[in-house]
């Protein structure tokens, strides 16, 4: 759920808070990658969207559609939940409404999905619903006992 088409038709704006900057995208694409990735999505919803819905409702519409695309490609929802507050950190800057972790079989699968025209059709609900977001790509690993 990178949230942006990774093709040349994308407009990037620094500090936009919804799409990656050119530098962030370049670093993501250049990083070594093999195997599955977990994308940690930190989400802050708008109070109201352009059509007067709640930001959460708009994002949920996107979520219902995008999870179908994820699972069609062998990915899955790993975890999601609402934060209870900030225990350590900045009470405002680290305040998120929702956290979602999605597993993609590979970075390439995620790139293909977010470059798909069908993804572009549903992405408007994501942009309309979010005030800001942070997406953190991670490599899953198992702790051995």
CATH of the domain at 67: 3.30.70.100
Q: How confident is the model at residue 2, as a pLDDT?
A: 42
Number of domains in the chain: 1
CA atoms within 13 A on the CB side of 22: 6
- Using one digit for the tens of pLDDT, what is the confidence trace for 2-59? 444 343 333 333 344 788 899 999 999 998 888 999 999 999 999 999 889 999 999 9
Q: How confident is the model at residue 10, as a pLDDT?
A: 37
Q: How confident is the model at residue 133, as a pLDDT?
A: 94
Domain membership flag for residue 70: yes
pLDDT reading at 121 higher than 90: yes
Please say whether the beta carbons of 7 and 115 come within 8 A: yes
- Using one digit for the tens of pLDDT, what is the confidence trace for 45-101? 999 998 899 999 999 999 999 999 999 999 999 999 999 999 999 998 899 999 999
Domain interval for residue 71? 22-138
Domain membership flag for residue 11: no
Domain membership flag for residue 7: no
Burial call 8-31: b when 16+ CB within 10 Å, e when fewer: eeeeeeeeeebbbeeeebeebeee
Angle at 60 between CA 54 and CA 62, to 5 degrees: 115
């Amino acid at each position: 759920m990178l949230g942006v088409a990774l093709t040349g038709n994308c407009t990037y704006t620094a500090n936009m808070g919804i799409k990656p900057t050119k530098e962030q995208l370049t670093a993501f694409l250049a990083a070594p990658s093999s195997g599955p990735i977990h994308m940690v999505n930190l989400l802050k919803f708008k109070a109201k969207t352009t059509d007067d819905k709640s930001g959460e409702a708009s994002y949920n519409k996107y979520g219902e559609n995008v999870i179908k695309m994820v699972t069609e490609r062998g990915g899955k929802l790993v975890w999601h939940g609402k934060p209870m507050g900030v225990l350590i950190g900045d009470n405002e800057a680290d305040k998120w409404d929702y956290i979602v972790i999605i597993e993609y079989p590979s970075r390439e699968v995620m790139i293909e999905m977010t470059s798909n025209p069908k993804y572009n059709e549903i992405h408007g609900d994501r942009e309309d619903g979010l005030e800001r977001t942070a997406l953190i790509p991670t490599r899953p690993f198992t702790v051995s006992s």
